[in-house]
A and B are shown apart, each in its own frame.
Chain A
Amino acid sequence: MSNLLELQQVEAYIQQYHILHDISFEVPKGEVTVLLGRNGAGKTTTLRTIMGLNQASGGSIIYNDKEIGQLKTHSIAQNGIGYVPEDQGIFDNLTVGENLKVAMKKEDEETTTRMEWVLGLFPDLQKFWKKPGGQLSGGQKQMLAIARAYVNENELLLIDEPSKGLAPIIVEKVMESIQQMKEQTTILLVEQNFLMASKIGDRFYIIDDGQTIHNGQMDELKNDKALMKKYLGIA
């Protein structure tokens, strides 16, 4: 099995603060890899660093056997990585349709097919096509953000805490759809909600204080109460 994305000893600073010390992990093709860890451990910064929104100061980021650590954000995105930020990054004044159209690099058959598929997954988006993005509910915004990251020929989606601030029933819906997307694409997920993460994740990595300190198959973690208590604070 090949790795779509691989991080090796990545370091990063935010201004003068050393946030990432040693992040190393692999994202195998076709799987859902989950980054777990406490608040402030560096999970969001890791995603931002992959995206080039934050410059890595050391280590390497390899995507599809190519070093992308020095590329600009837009080139990284053009290489096939889609990003759903923690705040979803919806363009509030643009309609749902326009939000999706900004993302569409071309309007060829493949993009249209992907669009139709993802709209089938999130029928709400079809329904509120002309509504400004800012007026959507939290769950709808999340769906729009995920759909937007998917419409291009992206092979890898980086999704940052999709459950944040959503009601449990909505979280379930969002997670269900991510599960379905798994068949089409590879996903790197940051998630605090362990219950959800464990349902859809294949592999996990635990990040603590800017370092990847533990990894394994999701199933192992579910049964390792000691580990969970130690790093995730859940018993």
Chain B
Amino acid sequence: MDLIVSLAINGLATGMLIFLLAAGLTLIFGLMDVLNFAHGGLFVWGAFSGVWVYNLTGNFMLGIAAAIVTGLILGAITEFLIIRPVYGNHIQQILITLGLMLVLGELIKVVFGPEQKSAVPPAFLDGSFMLGDIILIKYRLFIIAVGIFIFALTTFILKRTRIGLIVRAGVMNKEMVQSLGINIQFVFMAVFMVGAAMAALSGMLMAPYSGVIYAEMGLEFAILAFIVVVIGGMGSFKGSLFAAILVGLTQAFMAYYVPALSLAVNMLLMTAVLIFRPEGLFKVKG
């Protein structure tokens, strides 16, 4: 019993990290029709810059702030320099974001050095406590809490604010939004920056969770996020949470019982969705 609970918590924590990555992907896709293959690059940059500041200052919260700022800046640069020049051409957009992914991954090695870095949870999140017979690891609960908080915050922004309203309208009909006098370019930039910041935050939270970070983990994690986006439905924010938890749980349980097959099982899940419901479990566009 305690094994199952602890695996479930692992799965939820992993799921939240994937969700933070996939949420940005899905929002950007929904609004801009761009599947950002460089999203994993933003994830690693968040991890490395955040850990660097964390190790330098000893302050975990500063590390998180640094990761978010890195994400915002890289998001703005990416949108402006990489996505905008090829706006409206799908093939160029897809091709170019993969190139950016590889450049971001290699740049990590230039800036922070090619070796992997280690990170430990801060003192106030270190260790565990008992709940009955079950050992609860604080840092994992922290990740789950952050994930829930970000989901709630984003949902609130989408449902209750004007910018959220514009984003939701833009997902459905970009031309009409512009015809109502709204500068959609500004909205694109904002959503891209927020999506990038979520990816960077995910990377930073990941660091003390897995203990080590390395440049290649961006692509590995991004593949999970792509699987999530397909399962949840391209452009669906709610779908990305649901699918991320599903994939996270599968990952955690498979990693314990049949570790070699954990990616394969998630691929199978995606395949099933592609066969029976290619628009994803939560359909957004008509």
Task: Indicate whether A and B are direct neighbours in the complex (CB within 8 Å).
Answer: yes
* Residue ranges of A at the interface with B (Cβ–Cβ < 8 Å): 51, 53, 72-74, 77-78, 83, 85, 89, 91-94, 98-99, 101-103, 105, 148, 152
**Cβ contact of A102, chosen from B166, B175, B284, B286, cutoff 8 A:** B166
Residue B176 at the chain A interface, CB threshold 8 Å = yes
Residue B180 at the chain A interface, CB threshold 8 Å = yes
Give 7 A-B pairs besides A91-B176, A92-B286 with Cβ atoms closer than 8 angstroms. A51-B179, A53-B178, A77-B181, A89-B176, A91-B168, A98-B169, A103-B181
Contacts of A94 in B (CB 8 A): 165, 168-169, 172
The answer for the CA separation of A96 and B184 in the assembled complex, in Å, is 21
A103/B172 in contact, CB under 8 A: no
Contacts of A83 in B (CB 8 A): 179
Contacts of B223 in A (CB 8 A): none
The answer for the CA separation of A212 and B146 in the assembled complex, in Å, is 61
**CB-nearest residue of chain A relative to B178?**
A73
Whole-angstrom distance from the CB of A98 to the nearest CB of chain B? 6
**CB-nearest residue of chain B relative to A98?**
B165
B181/A105 in contact, CB under 8 A: yes
The answer for the CA separation of A102 and B163 in the assembled complex, in Å, is 9
The answer for the CA separation of A77 and B168 in the assembled complex, in Å, is 20
Whole-angstrom distance from the CB of B180 to the nearest CB of chain A? 5
Contacts of B181 in A (CB 8 A): 74, 77-78, 103, 105, 152
**CB-nearest residue of chain A relative to B180?**
A103
Whole-angstrom distance from the CB of B40 to the nearest CB of chain A? 29
Whole-angstrom distance from the CB of A2 to the nearest CB of chain B? 23
**Cβ contact of A93, chosen from B168, B176, B182, B183, cutoff 8 A:** B168
Residue B255 at the chain A interface, CB threshold 8 Å = no
The answer for the CA separation of A208 and B175 in the assembled complex, in Å, is 26
Contacts of A148 in B (CB 8 A): 180
Q: How many residues of B contact A (CB 8 A)?
A: 19
Q: Which of A53, A77, A148, A152 has the most CB of B within 10 A?
A: A77
| Contact code string B100-132 (vs A, CB < 8 Å = 1, else 0) | 000000000000000000000000000000000
Whole-angstrom distance from the CB of A226 to the nearest CB of chain B? 38
B183/A85 in contact, CB under 8 A: no
The answer for the CA separation of A93 and B282 in the assembled complex, in Å, is 13
A91/B172 in contact, CB under 8 A: yes
Residue B96 at the chain A interface, CB threshold 8 Å = no
Residue B173 at the chain A interface, CB threshold 8 Å = yes
Contacts of A101 in B (CB 8 A): 162, 165
Residue B177 at the chain A interface, CB threshold 8 Å = yes
On whether A53 and B177 interact (CB within 8 A), knowing A91-B168, A91-B172, A94-B168, the answer reads no
| Contact code string B144-178 (vs A, CB < 8 Å = 1, else 0) | 00000000000000000010011011001101111
B179/A85 in contact, CB under 8 A: yes
B179/A102 in contact, CB under 8 A: no
Contacts of A51 in B (CB 8 A): 179
Contacts of A85 in B (CB 8 A): 175-176, 179
Whole-angstrom distance from the CB of B280 to the nearest CB of chain A? 15
Contacts of B166 in A (CB 8 A): 102
Whole-angstrom distance from the CB of A166 to the nearest CB of chain B? 20
The answer for the CA separation of A51 and B180 in the assembled complex, in Å, is 10
Whole-angstrom distance from the CB of A26 to the nearest CB of chain B? 22
Q: Which of A73, A103, A152 has the most CB of B within 10 A?
A: A73
Contacts of B184 in A (CB 8 A): 74
The answer for the CA separation of A89 and B162 in the assembled complex, in Å, is 19
B173/A89 in contact, CB under 8 A: yes
A102/B172 in contact, CB under 8 A: no
Whole-angstrom distance from the CB of B177 to the nearest CB of chain A? 7
The answer for the CA separation of A155 and B172 in the assembled complex, in Å, is 26
Whole-angstrom distance from the CB of A93 to the nearest CB of chain B? 6
A102/B178 in contact, CB under 8 A: no
Contacts of A152 in B (CB 8 A): 180-181
A89/B165 in contact, CB under 8 A: no
Whole-angstrom distance from the CB of B178 to the nearest CB of chain A? 4
In residues 69-90 of chain B, which contact A (Cβ within 8 Å)?
none
Whole-angstrom distance from the CB of A120 to the nearest CB of chain B? 22
